[in-house]
Amino acid sequence: MFGLDAKDTRLVLIVAVLTMLAPFILNPFPEGSELAQFNAGYPDLMQRFVIFGIFAIGFNILFGLTGYLSFGHAAFLGVGSYAAIWMMKLLTMNVVPAIFMAIVIAGIFSLFVGWISLRRTGIYFSILTLAFAQMSFALAYSVLTPLTGGETGLQPKMADPRILDGSLAEGTTPRANLFGLQMSSSYELSVGGWLFTFNAGYYLAAVVMLIAFYISIRIFRSPFGMMLRAIKCNQQRLNYTGLNSKPYTLAAFVISGMYAGLAGGLMVAMDTQVGPERMFWTASGEVVLMTILGGAGTLIGPVLGAGMIKYMENIISKINSTILHEWFYWMPDGLEDFVVAMIYPFIGKGWHLTLGIMFMLVVIFLPGGLVEGGQRIARLFGKGKKAETDEGGTKPSSTPAE
């Protein structure tokens, strides 16, 4: 189907079903229960899952396939965001031109950065991209304040021109929409104690992510993708065969920059605000973490990594000591305090610590990331099944190994 083999089709379908049913899957606990703390099925976080999924998928096209480690991808995300917000301020609050321009501008910017940075490989390439990203951040933070709003950032204002939109109705504020459908609108379904929220913005982002995911599979499977892998294997040898590898790496760099721009544009479409921190080097580092945590060079890995990190950032960081005491109230007093004191460094603002430990464990024991973990489990079950039924079918590995 769609020019994919059976295994890839199955993967796309699984991802499609998971994203479409995410409001159910992410809200497994009833409202008001103690465990509702762990529910992630609210619009903001679901949007973040898919948007950072797109960002990581794009990053993986560069890092996973060619092995070039860019430490400046957040710059493209930021540039895309600024392009999108300016489209909203000047043209229309409809998200289509905003997202389109985000991709275009990020593509042009990545062409420029890539053209310079790709003259070097390895650590020098990483440092160059990092330098470009930090330059962009510094420019956006202060020097380009008239264009970027500086530290305060940009938001749609009542007084913006918006030349394609009619004048605002009295008492309303400009809101991002898709041909009239507001990104913030949602349908709430309450079943028993559960409350499921179906958000228009989330579904737009999810559909875009599916398209982005599909394109990434096609790239992975194409001769172009094969060439990128060849670059990762041994670029020198490739050069000696008389082949100029630079256009290929540059193309991969620009494609992944455009993915980042798309993610940036979507972020603005979902939440109409841009600040320069989006370009800070920690944001660039985060996407590297996402990709490695999930499994670099695999198809689904980056999406899993992105989901994992965003979940920790938004859920673990909100657990405070009061909540811990509520959980362990049934313990004897001294023991309760002890247990809370033991867990406290790992929650709330300590979520970075938890993430760091997880990252170390994954890198040491599962070098292939979460995907490798999934494969090991699948193999375990697969073996058991084989022994039982003696079918000897295909290995149920969901993702191709790099």
Partner 1 sequence: MSKSDISRRGVLRTGAAVGAGLATPTIFTSQVWGGGHTGFTNAPQGDTVTLGFNVPQSGAYADEGADELRAYELAVEHLNGGGDGGMLNTFSSKTIDGTGILGKKVEYVTGDTQTKSDAARASARSMIEKDGAIMITGGSSSGVAVAVQALCQEAGVIFMAGLTHSNDTTGKDKKANGFRHFFNSYMSGAALAPVLAKAYGTDRKAYHLTADYNWGYTTQEAVQTSTEALGWETVNNVLTPLTQTDFSSYIAPVLQSGADVLVLNHYGGNMVNSLTNAVQFGLRDKMVNDKNFEIIVPLYSRLMAKGAGANVKGIFGSTNWHWSLAQGFTTPDGTEVAPDAGSAAFVKSFGEKYGFPPSQAAHTCYCQTLLYADAVNRAGSFNPCAVGEALKDFEFDGLGNGPTLYRGDDHQCFKDVLVVRGKENPTSEFDLLEVVEVTPVSQVTYDASIFGGDLGTCNPGA
Closer to partner 1 by CB, 197 or 398: give it: 197
Least distance in angstroms from the C-beta of 140 to partner 1: 11
DSSP string, 199-215: EHHHHHHHHHHHHHHHH
How many whole angstroms separate alpha carbon 257 and alpha carbon 261?
A: 6
SS3 at position 165: coil
For the CB of residue 175, give the shortest distance to partner 1 in the complex, in Å. Answer: 7
Question: Backbone phi, then psi, for 366, in 5-degree steps?
Answer: -130, 75
Distance CA 252, CA 243 (A): 16
Residues that bind partner 1 (CB under 8 A): 39, 42-45, 48, 138, 141-142, 145, 150-153, 155, 157-159, 170-171, 173, 175, 182, 184-191, 197, 199, 271-273, 275, 277-278, 280, 313-314, 317-318, 320, 348-349, 352
Contact between 140 and 279 (Cβ < 8 Å): yes
Taking the complex as a whole, the smallest distance from the CB of residue 165 to partner 1 amounts, in Å, to 17
**β pairing state of 177-178 and 194-199:** unpaired
Whose structure tokens read 């540059």? 250
User: Rounded to the nearest whole angstrom, what is the least distance from the CB of residue 127 to partner 1 in the complex?
Assistant: 18
Instruction: Evaluate whether 199 touches 47 at the Cβ level (below 8 Å).
Output: yes
Nearer to partner 1, 42 or 100 (CB): 42
In the bound complex, what is the minimum distance in angstroms from residue 53's beta carbon to partner 1?
Answer: 16
**Hey, what are 203's tokens?**
């579904």
* Residue corresponding to tokens 């994954």: 362
In the complex, minimum distance from the CB of residue 39 to partner 1, in angstroms, rounded to a whole number:
7
Which lies closer to partner 1 via its Cβ, residue 238 or residue 315? 315
What single letter denotes the amino acid at residue 41? Answer: G
Closest to partner 1 by CB, 45 vs 227, is 45
Closer by beta carbon to partner 1, 51 or else 252: 51
Q: Which is nearer to partner 1, 136 or 298 (CB)?
A: 136
